[in-house]
Structure 1
Amino acid sequence: MLKYNFLILSLIFSVPGILIYFFRKDLRKPMRILAICSLPFGFTEFLFYPSYWEPVFLFDLVNYLGFGIEDLIFVMGLSAFTSTAYPFFLKRKLIAINIKNGISSLKILFLVLACCFFFVFLLDVWKIPMIYGAPILMILMSIGIMGIRNDLILPGLLGGLLSTVIYAFLCLVLLLIYPDLFQLTWHTEKFINRNIYGVPVEELIYGFTSGSIATLFYPFVFRHRYEKII
């Protein structure tokens, strides 16, 4: 079982979201929606494997399909805690607001099309490795949303920071199980090749940017704001 390191990683990254889901009923709907919206990103493993890392996949599916079952578990688990870390830890709730600036479904379409465009642009034109391309995409989308909704600037930044802390903690837990995992499985020598307490800098960047966009996505698309719980 332990040889399937990506599966173990994905299960570990699912724990924070499960705990938040259990303790905060009001955040369950956003978590479910973000989990569904995150699924397409599980199919992008071929952009990272094997150039960035080479974990062990169940049934070796990555070499047949370009992604594995673990990818779907990982993106759902990641979206669960990155989208709710800010309201959970800082005691905020989501309140619907009336903003007459478009239909939610059109915003979703815009965001999806923007993702596709920038992925293709960054990968094929600038030749940027996707471990950098994905964070660049997410931070650009975050900046765009915060430019439209100034009330989401602080949640976006704090959501990114909280997600980074959780992401780093989970990586440290992973290192307790696989002490040499990042050295043996990640090809960080091709990139920044720096780590913080054994965790590659690329992973922390990914944690921050995914936390920022996940915190912003639901209130922006579905016209909500964060409000302090009294």
Structure 2
Amino acid sequence: MSYFLKLNNVVKYYGEGESRMKVLNGINISLEKRKICAILGPSGSGKSTLLNVIGGLDSVDQGSIIIDEKTDITKLKRKEIAQYRRGYLGFIFQFYNLIPNLTVRENIQVCEYLASNPLSLDELIETIGMAEHQNKFPSQLSGGQQQRCAIARSLIKNPELLLCDEPTGALDSKSAKDILVLIENVNKKYGTTVLLVTHNVDIEHMAHMIIHMKDGSIVSSIENSNRKNAKDIEW
């Protein structure tokens, strides 16, 4: 079986001397292309650090991170890491980080200009359900609408891998469900591989693969044979 993302014995420390602490303790993950993987665990379990090293935002102290069975990103130089983030990745965070004086459409276009093979802007705006709001500014949008815009900004580059760090953490339950349905639709429509970090245990039901972390280690990693569509889950 081929894997789009494969982590081998990934170790990460923070701090120095007596304060040095291991935050990732020999992480091994294999994720197929076009799948949704949910990573769950309490605060301090290493979830966000794991996302950061996969995204090239942080380095590792040991191990390898193989993308598409050919590129070990731990061996890349700074310029190559920047090209990897630009070419392969989309990031979605808990906080939307939209540019306040740009409209929805303009916020998305900022990343469109960085892409060599972008998606259709008009089609994407329709896909995220923001066509009627595309000329509004972030201050005129609800939290869920702002997150939709942030998702579209990440997707316009047509990334192979979408990294989501608590994408529903700042939203009410209805908006959170809408965003998760949207992420699932994106996965199906564009074939985007999704890695989703969350505290919300309900999210595991929509994932193809479920990973539980504690104290920097993976305590379980299972294929979800009872996966449900996001719209059918009781949130």
Return the structure number with greater strand share.
2
TM beyond 0.5 = no
TM-score scaled by structure 2? 0.24
Name whichever structure is richer in helix by fraction.
1
